Amino acid sequence: MASERRFAEVRKMLEAAGWKLARIRGSHHYFTKPGRLPLSIPVHRGKVKSYYVRQVEKVCKGDGPAFRA
């Protein structure tokens, strides 16, 4: 089961899967990848909550709901 992780680790996972950091608005970091819906990851005190870590793991495997119709 995923636990809270440092944002640097989550960012490396996404970038390794072809996602790019598009912008930051407040605490939300928006990642994009061609053919996929944007992914918003809230970051507080340099950490990402376990719910979002699981979401990132699914999206990196290609199982996530972020496919563009």
pLDDT in tens, 20-46: 999 999 999 999 999 889 999 999 999
CATH superfamily of 5-61: Hypothetical protein. (3.30.920.30)
Cβ 38 vs Cβ 32: under 8 Å: yes
pLDDT tens sequence across 3-26: 899 999 999 999 999 999 999 999
Which range is least confidently modeled, 14-18, 48-52, 55-59, 62-66? 62-66
Q: What does the domain layout of the chain look like in residue ranges?
A: 5-61
Q: pTM to 2 decimals?
A: 0.85
Which of 8, 22, 10 shows the shortest CA–CA distance to 57?
A: 10
